[in-house]
Amino acid sequence: MVVMESSQISEPAGPPRERAENGRRAAALLGSAMVLAALLVLSLVLSLGLGARQLSPAEVWHGLVDADSAAYTVVHQMRLPRTLLGLLAGVALGVAGGVMQALTRNPLADPGLLGINAGASAAVATAAGLFGVATFQGYVWFALAGAAVVAVLVYAVGGGRAATPARLALAGAAVNAALYSYVNGTMLLDAASLETMRFWTVGSLASAQGGTAAMMTPFVAAGLLLALALARPLNALALGDDAARSLGAHPARVRAGAIVAVTLLCGAATAACGPIVFVGLMVPHLVRALTGPDQRWMLPCCALLAPVLLLGADVLGRLVARPGELQAGIVTAVLGGPLFLYFVRRKVRA
């Protein structure tokens, strides 16, 4: 009988090493999420403090809690509504972009590039021009319907289950061109629509009012919860329909749920602040570099980073054009255009 010394007996190195690596990865992901949360808090403070009139952090705090403060009117009537709107719209657009890129397996997918924002815009233009609707309560239902119709249309024209990234991009570009031509024609033919929508069509947070964020919250919350619930099935769907079924997912239900989530998120955001492009494209790419493709981490981090980008664009627009302002939609387009070209060139080289 051979007696082995205790130092010679060891457990297999695989499982403990794998658990250690998983623990380190989870810690890194949690650290990234905490950094993004800190950036979000900072962007909220900057949005409340910077503009035509500069407010220090102490003045922002007193403006929030002290009705007798000199900054109370500026904070509560001007800065706070647009900051909350930027927070909700950023969450909506960032998560919608992440869901669309996962659903279509297209890294260039974006609610604006695939025509969904254009569908919501066309519906809002119709509501303003034909029915005289001029409030968020009226806009939102038209925007949701328009976003849903165009989402299904682009997906069907792009090939449905056989859709490729190129076909979806072409279908979205065609629908975008047609719908924005319709929007511009509606505005030119009706003076009231032109006056109502000339700033809205650019994409801005400046039209925020005290109740806008409160009315928008149920739609964004419903879309966000549905998107997060679909995170694991979307991971399975990325492997293909057959693999997804073997993992217990139902591809048709996942696609339908994803379209509903994107419709709720994009419809509410577009109705409230107009068609803001490139946020849904840029944010998932930036987040994916931190978290990888796992939607369970990526979508929550998109919800943290997208408001940072949108509020940062809004603050930058206020500062560069003081005492006026440059709309946030223009700033995101200026930032997003070169980034989009970079992604396209990188994909072509790959």
Q: What is the pLDDT of residue 344?
A: 65
Higher pLDDT, 245 or 305: 305
pLDDT at 3 over 50: no
Q: Can you tell me whether residue 110 is helix, strand or coil?
A: coil
Q: What are phi and psi of 98, to 5 degrees?
A: -60, -40
- In this predicted structure, what is the pLDDT of residue 106? 78
Average pLDDT, the chain: 83
Closest CA to 305 of 290, 285, 287: 287
Confidence bin at 329 (pLDDT 50/70/90): confident
Q: What is the pLDDT of residues 92-142, one digit of tens each?
A: 999 999 998 888 787 777 787 778 888 888 888 888 877 777 777 777 888
Cα–Cα separations (whole angstroms), residue 2 to 5, 12, 337: 10, 21, 72
CA distance 252 to 249: 9
Going 199 to 322 to 313 to 221, the CA torsion angle's sign is negative
Cα–Cα distance list, 270 to 28, 141, 184, 262, 274 (Å): 34, 11, 16, 12, 4
First-to-last CA distance in the chain? 60
Residue 28 included in any domain? no
Question: Rounded to an integer, what distance in angstroms lies between the CA atom of residue 267 and that of residue 254?
Answer: 19
Helix or strand run (H / E) with residue 165 = helix 165-189
- pLDDT given for residue 94 in this prediction: 95
* Residue 100 belongs to domain with CATH number: 1.10.3470.10
Instruction: State the residue range of the domain holding 238.
Output: 71-349
Report whether pLDDT(164) > 70.
no
Q: Is it the case that residue 155 has pLDDT exceeding 50?
A: yes
For the stretch 79-99, what's the b/e string if a residue is b when 16 or more beta carbons lie within 10 angstroms of its beta carbon? bbbbbbbbbbbbbbbbbbbbb
Q: 192-224, pLDDT tens digit by residue?
A: 666 667 667 778 888 777 788 888 999 999 999
Instruction: Decide if 276 is inside a domain.
Output: yes
In a domain, 281, yes or no: yes
User: Does residue 215 form part of some domain?
Assistant: yes
Res 85: pLDDT: 93
Which tens digits make up the pLDDT trace of 73-90? 888 888 999 999 999 999
If one counts the domains in the chain, the total is 1
pLDDT the model gives residue 7: 44
What contacts 24+ positions apart, CB below 8 Å, involve 69-78? 75/48, 77/210, 78/51
Q: Is residue 29 part of a domain?
A: no
Tokens 């992440």 found at: 98
Degrees, nearest 5: CA angle 314-212-301? 55
**pTM for the full model?**
0.86
